[in-house]
Amino acid sequence: MSDNSTPETSPRIVIIGAGMAGILTVIKLREAGYDNFVVYEKADRIGGTWRENTYPGIACDVPAHLYTYSFEPNPDWSSTFASGPEIQAYFERVAEKYDVMRHIRFNEAVPHVEFKDGRWHIRTASGREDVADFLVAATGVLHHPHVADIPGLDSFTGACFHSAQWDHSVPLEGKRVGVIGTGSTAIQITSALVDKVSRFDLFQRTAQWISPIDNHVYTEEEKERFRTDPAFLQAVRDEINAEFGRFSNAVIDADSQEMKDIEAACLANLEDNVKDPVLREKLRPNYRAGCKRLIFSSDFYQAIQHPSAHVVTTPIERVEADGVRLADGELRDLDVLVVATGFRVDSFIRPTTVLGRDGVNLDDVWAEGPLAYMSISVPGFPNFFMLNGPNGPVGNFSLIQIAEHQVAYILQLMDKVRRGECREVSATPNATADFEQRRMAAAKKSIWSTGCKSWYLDKNGVPASWPWSRARFFEEMAKPVLDDYDLAS
Ligand code: NAP
């Protein structure tokens, strides 16, 4: 079975993943005049993270008008921060409108890709084979659930699932529900569930900074104006973009006044809204605000003071048949246990086996941790590009904005091949090593390096993120520095 039927003159491009970045890639490839491409998607629907994560209360903490493709504004966003289903519906609408769907092969996981004889050979789990000039990994970051290694998890006799694998067949009404973790996910679940269950236990290992937000519900009049007055909608988007930009820039300088102001606002939020001094102390973080991903919530502090809610800070000893046994011997008996312990963020395209030039395995190249020049290209892996790849600017940027800049950058490299200027493009080892060295030095000054545990940190404790300003990211993405690439004929 082969999908490689279009003439050789049009480079063939295989994209893995039909989430936000995969959809974007198809739209932009077509716009640039490419017509020979396919998306392999492991699931039966588009949407990536918004398809997978369906937990109660799911929403995006990037303002909706910023978490939107620049070329496809959405006047109908219901509120400042959109819910997961609303975002999923947006992507489905965009994919239909831009005729993306017919390019996607669903239920096609890609376990193996190999660069051989100057082209990428792709094999899907169903046995389909493809040969491409370019391979684009649009496989997401927060993708592979991390189930905490808590003893006895399997012995629980009630319902137990990871937040990204929510079992909607399990009734919650009137049940005793426990949630392990206090990341963005657990905080949103808390707000959604406390008034529906009989008891809600939040198992907290580390307290969180909660930034207060005003989640404004757009009125029909506002939405109508967004629809009929594109300049007004653009002005609103520009304003949100500028505000969010200030925040994105603040996090890279731990000593900045902005970070101190954010911390003061979060502290005031805690002091003003949590009345019980014992609970307040439990919820008081002992590290810098923004060190972990800052949590934006308009209602968590109210929710956690609901009569059903309990913040459990005694460490978990183990999980037993009836619930969670704490280190002090207490058993928190439960009907449902939700494991909201985050994601394995260093996987990227893996578990796909990726073999580059001369059969070199990406797993071996990444043995010390994933890295890529500009988070896009890996030496020895020609014509292979990653979107939202390793050490990319995940820290409080809109991932859509990032992906748009990355696709525009990648297209410039692809065009070199299309114009016949070279056949293979990959970052040089020197440029990659130099980029990594500069990146790591700068990362140490960021708020993420101020002494907390978070998924931003790599295994050596260095933030795996873009450590410079947002403006600098946009500038560096505007045009590839060709000296940093091997352009092989
Ligand atoms: P996360 O931020 O990585 O949080 C994982 C939580 O699990 C932490 O509270 C962690 O505690 C806890 N944990 C891990 N192992 C544990 C163990 N063995 N015992 C007890 N607790 C344990 O994961 P997440 O909440 O799923 O969020 C991940 C990211 O997804 C977010 O930062 C955000 O970027 C994205 N997200 C975004 C939104 C949104 O609004 N856009 C919503 C949800 C998720 P420690 O803090 O002590 O390590």
Nearest CA to ligand 1 atom 41: 60
% residues pLDDT > 70 (the chain): 98
Q: What is the pLDDT of residue 381?
A: 98
Average pLDDT over residues 136-144: 93
What residues pair up with 113 in beta bridges, in sequence order?
A: 122, 354
- The total of structural domains in the chain comes to 2
Instruction: Reply yes or no on whether the pLDDT at 1 is more than 60.
Output: no
What residues pair up with 338 in beta bridges, in sequence order?
A: 161, 179
Q: What is the pLDDT of residue 9?
A: 66
Q: How far apart are CA 25 and CA 37, in angstroms?
A: 10
399 within ligand 1 shell (Cβ under 6 A):
no
* Pair of tokens at residue 136: 């684009």
Q: How far apart are CA 383 and CA 115, in angstroms?
A: 9
61 within ligand 1 shell (Cβ under 6 A):
yes
- Report if residue 60 sits inside a domain: no
* Probe target for ligand 1 pocket from 184, 209, 314, with the most ligand atoms within 8 Å of CB: 184
Q: Is the peptide bond before 212 cis (omega within 30 degrees of 0)?
A: no
Same domain, yes or no: 158 and 192:
yes
Average pLDDT over residues 308-313: 98
Q: What is the pLDDT of residue 79?
A: 97
Q: Which domain holds residue 120?
A: 2-46+100-144+344-488
Same domain, yes or no: 265 and 358:
no
More confident of the two residues 8 and 327: 327
Same domain, yes or no: 157 and 123:
no
Nearest CA to ligand 1 atom 12: 181
Q: Identify the domain boundary among 339, 370, 405.
A: 339
Same domain, yes or no: 181 and 296:
yes
- Report if residue 82 sits inside a domain: no
CATH of residue 21: 3.50.50.60
**Helices 84-97 & 20-31, crossing angle to 10 degrees?**
20
209 within ligand 1 shell (Cβ under 6 A):
no
* Ligand 1 center to 49 CA (angstroms): 15
Average pLDDT over residues 136-150: 94
Atom of ligand 1 nearest to the CA of 62: 41
Q: How confident is the model at residue 394 (pLDDT cuts 50, 70, 90)?
A: low
- Report if residue 86 sits inside a domain: no
Q: What is the pLDDT of residue 5?
A: 42
Q: How confident is the model at residue 8 (pLDDT cuts 50, 70, 90)?
A: very low
378 within ligand 1 shell (Cβ under 6 A):
no
Q: Identify the domain boundary among 319, 339, 359.
A: 339
Atom of ligand 1 nearest to the CA of 453: 48
Same domain, yes or no: 106 and 179:
no
pLDDT digits (tens, 9 = 90+) for 318-362: 999 999 999 999 999 999 999 999 999 999 999 999 999 999 999
Q: What is the pLDDT of residue 71?
A: 97
Same domain, yes or no: 138 and 172:
no
- Report if residue 367 sits inside a domain: yes
Nearest CA to ligand 1 atom 4: 183
Q: How far apart are CA 155 and CA 173, in angstroms?
A: 23
Average pLDDT over residues 80-93: 98
* Ligand 1 center to 103 CA (angstroms): 34
Burial of 106 (0-12, 13-18, 19+ CB in 10 A): middle
Same domain, yes or no: 123 and 247:
no
Q: Identify the domain boundary among 287, 307, 339.
A: 339
